[in-house]
Amino acid sequence: MRGRLDRGALVGIVVLVLALGTSIPSPQAMAQTRTYKEAPMLAEQVRAGKLPPVAQRLPEDPMVVPTVESVGQYGGVWRRGFLGPGDFNNYHRVVYDALVRYSPDGTKVDMKLASSVQPSRDFTTWTVRLRKGAKWSDGSPFTADDIMFWYNDILLNKDVTPALPGWMRNRDGSAVVVRKVDDITVQWVYKEANTTFLMELANKDSGDRQFAAFLPSRYLKRFHAAYADKAQLDRMVADAKFKTWVELLAARNHPPENPERPTMAAWVPATRISDQLFVLRRNPYYVGVDSAGNQLPYIDTIQFKFFADAQALNLAAIAGQLDQQDRHINIVNYPVLKEREAKDKKYRVILWPTFGGTDASVILNQTYAKDPELGRLFQNKDFRIALSYAINRNEIKESTFLGLGEPRQPVAAPWHPYFPGDAVAKKFTEFRADEANRMLDAIGLTRKDAEGFRLFPGTTRRITIEISVVPAFGPWPDIAQLVAKNWQAVGIRTIVQVRDRALHFQMRQSNDLQSEIWNNDTSGFPFTGVPKYDPRSLLYGTLTTGPLWKAWYDSGGKEGAEPPAEVKRLVELIDTGKSANPQQQVRIAKELFQIWVDNMMEIGIIGLTPMVQGVVVLNPRLRNVPPTLGNDWPLRTPGNARPEQWFYR
Amino acid sequence: MLRVVVQRLLLLPLLLAVFSILVFALVQAPPGDFLTSYIATLAASGSSVDQAQVEALKVQFGLDQPFAVQYVRWMQNLLRGDLGLSLEYQRPNAELIGEYLVLTVVLALFSFVFTWLLAIPAGIYSATHPRSPLDYVLTVLNYIGVATPNFMLALILMWGAFSWFGISVTGLFSPEYIQAPWSLARVVDLLRHIWVPMIVIGIAGTARLTRIMRANLLDELNKPYVITARAKGLSEWRLVLKYPVRVAINPLVSTIGWYLPQLFSGSLIVATVMNLPNIGPLLLRALVGQDMYLAGSILMIYAFLTVVGTLLSDIFLAWVDPRIRMEQ
């Protein structure tokens, strides 16, 4: 797995990111000399006079999408499965409809709807230039006004956006200024240097049902109180059973819920995600072409079939009824999939391991307050390190991850510029029960009861840890059992509690979890999005390292629990990283990982497995699918694999 | 008779009011709310949400009001016959339920007919030929049928169909007909798929019904009126069908009204396992995701149909068996 991506190409994410504005060759010359080709179904519509010719539908400087194997051919249906309306990120991952997007290996950001993004010398101003002549899927022009509508009427409207998202907030809390320069150029003006702008922009699609940073303003204004006729708007709200126009606007803006809403993606919804079959059809105005001048996408239609249950979806994949599926394929089914692959030859299976971090960690709650004695133990670094040594990771890897992945701590992957080296990545991961026992003795937990379980010092009370685990993703409940067995072996009584995920989340928020099993998938993005290393994103975010620390930061130190020095240092590093130059960012990320592991903030178990949507079932005729791929939510996998250039042979 | 019916109908609103409180209390009973489970779902598929996004989601889903306000709003709408909006689907509940209703009713009718067509003759045969080889075979099958949870049967059938024939027997339509408008071809496609879920859902009921029919009929067959009829020279099967069967079937008829809510509910677990597009999985989803208005609406309709179904049962019973009196 290591070295699967070209190390030479990875000079450092941000180095490349910053160079990008200029490094993308402008295909304008090509646009003037080349004639473009289009899908037969569109050519027919052009002949019938229902559609303008392809040259008029494409922007002046179309995006040239490199193909993985070869130039493809048009046609075909891509069958995929989904689990209902709540599974809309399934759609967002496939279309990845954003101004700029992450590269397949996830180490740089490429232009998509924007033709260039240029920072000022001090990184306070970012100039975004759109592709001239690009059009929405309904044929209406895509311009700077579509970004200004988002800025003025969504972001700055308190009814729609009650709280400014982090990337649009200056350090003094004021909103970042966005201004229109000309019809296709928009500038973001920050008060401080911002070196993470491109990475943020690469995630401002409609994923997670947020408002994208560019919106079909002409279409959406009819649902916005600032533009629509009030009586008419009120009637629309009532008819759709909503209570406010904001709810209506949000629903009508979300493409999977509303096929009428124009998009810029390669495929546009033809039915709704609340239907049994969620169908996407090719966008005749998509801005991408291949190197031969064929307008993309190659594949005509995507069919998402509804499954009430993930197991039924897995069965359909095994039966060869899905053409490409990574999401909801359970790693536990990997052996069955391989067996059937060889027998039926209806599909092939490839693996896209996670983008660093861990696929299973145990996290101890350092602000646990219900049992202060236990909480104090969790705060003891040596206690956490001892518990890390007590875990037999190879056994867990073999029996629950089918031998895939490797024992490691939650830090960047070896192929990533932020990789801090094996000394950090493998620290405390050796199975050393004797050392664990020695350390537990050394911190005073020497007295044991008749069954050999350690007692709280000076009492006859057993130390008992509850691991809360959610049956999400993969084999987490089994991992919890093995960890419990390992911890019992060094005298720490451990109970595994399998919980419904809503209850687990509720308890995490209310600071009621003692410990949990979760994953850390943010190692490639410590400065953007919702990094799991940042205690301020704890509440809804992520890990239960210390829920009360967030309250402390939110209240300016009046409530919650004051974090220890190392946690304060983490926050400092993350904030510095947001405006540091690329070389500094690499150094800062490495320091961050060092602190995270040295203090055992999170006991990493196994990482780099294909657990999270990394077991990929493919129709053998489907070509141009990259055999290796950076796989993570910020990368919108499989969207970063450029599905518009996939084709059937 | 009429008075009883009117009395029952007058009681209906009161019963439903009690149900509505129960339903809402139950739907709200699990910890957390729609937003918690929504965010948990997002996180369990790889994304994580920050505070600003949570605030935005609250506004977008209309969850910024306190719980009591939301409940009162729902009740007010319900009184006007408005079932409100599904949070997860972001579509009116009435529209959603309507969409799932046809297939739910069709599937339930099929398994209902299957159950009765199979169970009544089998029960009669077993009772009139007690301890015969076929009676023993039927008895064993019945025990297995009653004792096997139907979702288990569904899983076994799915596995068997897949490993022997390489087909997956989930769903009610081939892919090309899932979204198609109704046509003859679509009906044929439905008939090709519906028999497996029909058997799975119907089998336990069939077994139970056969046992009841057999036991009831055995009780009747030794009664003096049967002997009298036989002495008068009635042919054996006319005799059995005309008198004891009509008496023995009474307890079954009295349960027929209970099928009304079942017609609507869809078989929850089987439908989820077999990926059937009926109301069962819709309700399960709504409950798990704490989509309180959708779950509440489905459960309220269910309660309504249960009450009406019981009433219909009583009326039906009085009609089949003239000995039954409704006066109080």
Helices A501-509, B34-43: axis angle to 10 degrees equals 100
Judging contacts by C-beta atoms under 8 Å, the chain A residues touching residue B290 are: 502
pLDDT band at residue A7, thresholds of 50, 70 and 90?
Answer: very low
Judging contacts by C-beta atoms under 8 Å, the chain A residues touching residue B39 are: 505, 540
Determine, for residues A503 and B30 on separate chains, whether the beta-carbon distance falls below 8 Å. yes
| Predicted local distance difference test score (pLDDT) of residue A541 | 54
CA-nearest of A277, A336, A282, A350 to A619 is A350
Residues A388-402 pLDDT 10s: 999 999 999 999 999
State the Cα–Cα distance between residues B307 and A492, nearest whole angstrom: 55
Q: Report the mean per-residue pLDDT for chain A.
A: 92
Candidates B47, B56, B92; nearest CB to A162? B56
Judging contacts by C-beta atoms under 8 Å, the chain B residues touching residue A541 are: 48-50
Of chain B, the percentage scoring pLDDT greater than 90 comes to 18
Candidates B32, B46, B49; nearest CB to A502? B32
Higher-scoring residue by pLDDT: A100, A14: A100
Q: Give the pairing of strands A77-82 and A301-306.
A: parallel
Determine, for residues A537 and B48 on separate chains, whether the beta-carbon distance falls below 8 Å. yes
Helix (H) or strand (E) holding A647: strand A647-648
CA A49-A55-A58 angle, 5° bins: 110
Judging contacts by C-beta atoms under 8 Å, the chain A residues touching residue B43 are: 501, 505, 542
Interface residue of B60, B61, B173, B177 to substitute, partner A, most A CBs within 10 Å? B60
Rounded to an integer, the average pLDDT of B272-298 is 88
pLDDT for residue B115 is more than 50: yes
SS3 at position B184: helix
What letter does residue A82 receive in the DSSP assignment? Answer: E
B281/A contact by beta carbon, under 8 A: yes
| Predicted local distance difference test score (pLDDT) of residue B6 | 85
| Predicted local distance difference test score (pLDDT) of residue A539 | 60
Candidates A162, A251, A327; nearest CB to B55? A162
| Predicted local distance difference test score (pLDDT) of residue A272 | 95
CA-nearest residue of chain A to B155?
Answer: A312
| Predicted local distance difference test score (pLDDT) of residue A5 | 40
Q: State the amino acid at position B173 in one-letter form.
A: F
Determine, for residues B82 and A241 on separate chains, whether the beta-carbon distance falls below 8 Å. yes
Determine, for residues B46 and A251 on separate chains, whether the beta-carbon distance falls below 8 Å. no
B26, B27, B29, B33 alpha-carbon torsion, rounded to 10° = -170
How many residues appear in chain A? 649
Record the tokens describing residue A66, joined without a space: 């490199």
CA-nearest residue of chain A to B278?
Answer: A308
In angstroms, the separation between the Cα of residue A289 and the nearest Cα of chain B is: 30
Judging contacts by C-beta atoms under 8 Å, the chain A residues touching residue B28 are: none
pLDDT band at residue A540, thresholds of 50, 70 and 90?
Answer: low
Residues A107-136 pLDDT 10s: 899 999 999 999 999 999 999 999 999 999
The helices-and-strands tally (H runs, E runs) of chain B is 17, 0
Residue matched to tokens 């559609």 = A51
Determine, for residues A303 and B175 on separate chains, whether the beta-carbon distance falls below 8 Å. yes
Candidates B48, B96, B272; nearest CB to A541? B48
Scanning A331-464, the segments in alpha helix (DSSP H) are: 334-344, 372-379, 381-389, 393-400, 422-425, 433-442
Candidates A160, A316, A503; nearest CB to B59? A160
| Predicted local distance difference test score (pLDDT) of residue B327 | 57
Record the tokens describing residue B164, joined without a space: 């022997």
CA-nearest residue of chain A to B161?
Answer: A319
- Answer for the pair A155, A175: CB distance below 8 angstroms, yes or no: yes
Of chain A, the percentage scoring pLDDT greater than 90 comes to 83
State the Cα–Cα distance between residues A67 and B211, nearest whole angstrom: 66
Residues A347-372 pLDDT 10s: 999 999 999 999 999 999 999 999 99
CA-nearest of B94, B97, B99, B64 to B80 is B94
| Predicted local distance difference test score (pLDDT) of residue A536 | 86
Determine, for residues B38 and A86 on separate chains, whether the beta-carbon distance falls below 8 Å. yes
Interface residue of B33, B90, B276, B293 to substitute, partner A, most A CBs within 10 Å? B90
Determine, for residues B43 and A274 on separate chains, whether the beta-carbon distance falls below 8 Å. no
Rounded to an integer, the average pLDDT of B186-207 is 89
Candidates A89, A321, A502; nearest CB to B37? A502
CA-nearest residue of chain A to B85?
Answer: A241
Say if residue B81 is exposed, middle or buried (CB neighbours under 10 Å; 0-12, 13-18, 19+).
exposed
In angstroms, the separation between the Cα of residue B273 and the nearest Cα of chain A is: 7
Rounded to an integer, the average pLDDT of B189-200 is 89
CA-nearest of A112, A98, A113, A85 to A211 is A98
Candidates B46, B54, B290; nearest CB to A502? B290
Candidates A164, A257, A321; nearest CB to B168? A321
Judging contacts by C-beta atoms under 8 Å, the chain B residues touching residue A207 are: 47
Question: For A3-12, A156-165, B14-23, which range has the lowest pLDDT when averaged over its residues?
Answer: A3-12
User: Considering only residues 78 to 97 of chain B, which have any Cβ-Cβ distance to chain A shorter than 8 Å?
Assistant: 82, 84-85, 88-93, 96
- Answer for the pair A605, A400: CB distance below 8 angstroms, yes or no: no
| Predicted local distance difference test score (pLDDT) of residue A502 | 79
- Residue A228 makes CB contacts below 8 A (sequence gap 6+) with A221, A222, A245
- Answer for the pair A75, A21: CB distance below 8 angstroms, yes or no: no
In angstroms, the separation between the Cα of residue B318 and the nearest Cα of chain A is: 42
Record the tokens describing residue A205, joined without a space: 């699609």
Candidates A279, A308, A530; nearest CB to B179? A279
pLDDT band at residue A184, thresholds of 50, 70 and 90?
Answer: very high
Helices A476-489, A393-400: axis angle to 10 degrees equals 150
Helix (H) or strand (E) holding B2: helix B2-28
In angstroms, the separation between the Cα of residue A164 and the nearest Cα of chain B is: 6
User: The sheet that has A358-364: what strands, in order across it?
Assistant: A406-407, A603-607, A358-364, A515-520, A464-469, A493-498
pLDDT band at residue A20, thresholds of 50, 70 and 90?
Answer: very low
Residues A497-527 pLDDT 10s: 998 877 888 888 889 999 999 999 889 999 9
| Predicted local distance difference test score (pLDDT) of residue A13 | 43
In angstroms, the separation between the Cα of residue A571 and the nearest Cα of chain B is: 16
Judging contacts by C-beta atoms under 8 Å, the chain B residues touching residue A240 are: 85, 91-92
CA-nearest of A358, A354, A409 to A632 is A354
Radius of gyration over every alpha carbon of chain A, rounded to an integer in angstroms: 26
CA-nearest residue of chain A to B177?
Answer: A277
Helices B292-320, B279-288: axis angle to 10 degrees equals 140
State the Cα–Cα distance between residues A299 and A266, nearest whole angstrom: 10
Rounded to an integer, the average pLDDT of B89-110 is 90
Q: How far is CA A25 from the centre of its chain?
A: 28
Higher-scoring residue by pLDDT: B55, A645: A645
Radius of gyration over every alpha carbon of chain B, rounded to an integer in angstroms: 24
Rounded to an integer, the average pLDDT of B161-187 is 83
State the Cα–Cα distance between residues B297 and A30, nearest whole angstrom: 59
CA A55-A280-A76 angle, 5° bins: 75
State the Cα–Cα distance between residues A476 and A359, nearest whole angstrom: 9
pLDDT for residue A3 is more than 70: no
In angstroms, the separation between the Cα of residue B186 and the nearest Cα of chain A is: 15
- What b-and-e string marks burial along B46-79, b requiring 16 or more CB atoms within 10 Å of the CB? bbbbbbbbbbbbebbbbbbeeeeebbeebeebbe
CA-nearest of A325, A315, A345 to A620 is A345
Interface residue of B35, B38, B51 to substitute, partner A, most A CBs within 10 Å? B51
Higher-scoring residue by pLDDT: A330, B165: A330
**Candidate ranges A20-24, A168-172, B228-232, B273-277; pick with highest mean pLDDT:** A168-172
B27 C-beta neighbours (distance < 10 Å), count: 18
| Predicted local distance difference test score (pLDDT) of residue B62 | 79
Judging contacts by C-beta atoms under 8 Å, the chain A residues touching residue B36 are: 502, 505-506, 509
Record the tokens describing residue B279, joined without a space: 């109301």
- Answer for the pair A394, A606: CB distance below 8 angstroms, yes or no: no
| Predicted local distance difference test score (pLDDT) of residue A14 | 43
Q: Report the mean per-residue pLDDT for chain B.
A: 85
pLDDT band at residue A30, thresholds of 50, 70 and 90?
Answer: very low
User: Considering only residues 131 to 160 of chain B, which have any Cβ-Cβ distance to chain A shorter than 8 Å?
Assistant: 158
Judging contacts by C-beta atoms under 8 Å, the chain A residues touching residue B92 are: 240-241
pLDDT for residue A563 is more than 80: yes
Determine, for residues A276 and B42 on separate chains, whether the beta-carbon distance falls below 8 Å. no
- Residue A247 makes CB contacts below 8 A (sequence gap 6+) with A237, B59, B60, B61, B62
Question: For A438-452, A621-635, B246-260, which range has the lowest pLDDT when averaged over its residues?
Answer: B246-260
Residues A437-450 pLDDT 10s: 999 999 999 999 99
Strand locations in A556-626 (E): 603-607, 615-618, 622-623
Residues A528-539 pLDDT 10s: 888 899 988 766
Determine, for residues A276 and B40 on separate chains, whether the beta-carbon distance falls below 8 Å. no
Q: What are phi and psi of A234, to 5 degrees?
A: -60, -40
B55/A contact by beta carbon, under 8 A: yes
Higher-scoring residue by pLDDT: A9, A342: A342
B269/A contact by beta carbon, under 8 A: no
pLDDT for residue A340 is more than 70: yes
State the Cα–Cα distance between residues A485 and A490, nearest whole angstrom: 9
pLDDT for residue A612 is more than 60: yes
Rounded to an integer, the average pLDDT of A16-41 is 59
- Answer for the pair A91, A278: CB distance below 8 angstroms, yes or no: yes
- Answer for the pair B258, B310: CB distance below 8 angstroms, yes or no: yes
Determine, for residues B170 and A321 on separate chains, whether the beta-carbon distance falls below 8 Å. no
Residue matched to tokens 């350092």 = A366
- Answer for the pair A342, A524: CB distance below 8 angstroms, yes or no: no
pLDDT band at residue A16, thresholds of 50, 70 and 90?
Answer: very low
